[in-house]
Amino acid sequence: MTDISTPRPAVQTDLTGKTILVTGGAGFIGSHVVAALLAQGARVINIDNFNDFYDPAIKRANVLPFLQVPDGRYEQYEVNLCDEAAMQDVFEHHGRTIDRVVHLAAWAGVRPSMQYPVRYHHANVTGTTLLLELMKAHDIGRLVFASSSSVYGACQEAPFVEDQDTTKPVSVYAATKRMGELLLHTYAHLWGLQSVSLRFFTVYGPAQRPDLAIHKFTHRLFNNLPIPVYGDGSAERDFTYIDDIVQGVLAALVYDQTPYEIVNLGESQRISVKALIERLEALTGKTATIDWQPPVPGDVPMTCANIDKARRLLGYNPTVPLDVGLPRFVEWYRRFHGGDNGLDRPLNLGAITAATSN
């Protein structure tokens, strides 16, 4: 048996010929994962309901390159994860051809979860349960689940380690993500469904959702709009570049040493909101106007990932620190919103189509 107590080298993640079902593959993280899978020669089945949590046109632009992939290696279903009949149809059609599942679909965000707790529970808990039942029925035995650093609650002990107490979530979103992790543990114990739950730490990069801090702050700086800051700006976040997250997802897809794992994926560095804005001011050449707001219930004072376990089990090695990733994001924003043809996608279609000729 492989020794998982010592760090592994970078994991070889050749998924050529594998069929991977991705839920939420039109979103920010999902579209990058789909692009990487297609570039490796995998076949992808994407389930996404293109909801209006943010502009669905952004998601449709995200998947546009995939629709050009030849040989039927990309299929897309506009289906709600909680629509049992529609989900049954997808699984009946593809059934046992699916090798693995990447479950990214969810209602996301700490603050809106307080407004719509029933919606969040339905999508994130009921939807996950339905997916697990379909996997069990069709003998699909491996899942990678997108969890969140928010499950650590208001923890003050940094960096966060996977075995820390997560019984005190401070937002509905965090509670639903922890419930997802517990469901996966249960299905591993009862039915042998292998899974890796990845706790993502504040993901950013090209095509980031417009409601997230780095995108929102950059947009407001370029458009001379005030930036809302909740609290005094001292809250700290561990920002993780999308390429590093994708690296971790692909490694988790091929990990098979244990039936159930929870793994942090982060940069393991933190920066305050105030300092982040100062860096964006320098990169954009703009001066921020701050709209100071009271703290929001559910927001946590700090996140920071201990990534020792990710290094040990997955060979995870983040390569894009904030000093590199932030300028990349600002440059993408300039191109996407300010020049060229207005449709300058961050996804590498050349790499995707090249994989079809191998």
For position 125, what pLDDT does the model report?
Answer: 99
CB 321 within 8 A of CB 269: yes
Cα–Cα distances (Å) from 181 to 49, 148, 174, 304, in that order, read: 23, 10, 11, 19
Dihedral of the alpha carbons of 160, 161, 166, 170, in degrees to the nearest 10 = 10
Torsion, CA 84, CA 89, CA 93, CA 96, rounded to 10: 20
CA atoms within 13 A on the CB side of 315: 14
Q: Is the pLDDT of residue 339 over 70?
A: no
**pTM of structure:** 0.91
Give the tens place of pLDDT for each residue, 30-81. 999 999 999 999 999 999 999 998 899 999 999 999 999 999 999 999 999 9
Residue holding tokens 């517990």? 182
Of these residues, 77, 173, 241, 333, which one is catalytic?
173
The residue ranges of DSSP E strands in 211-356, in sequence order, are 227-230, 236-237, 240-241, 260-265, 271-272, 290-293
* Active-site annotation holds for 152: no
What tokens does 199 get?
């706790």
Split at pLDDT 50, 70, 90, the class of 11 is low
Domains of the chain in start order, with CATH, are: 19-201+240-266+305-319+348-353 (3.40.50.720)
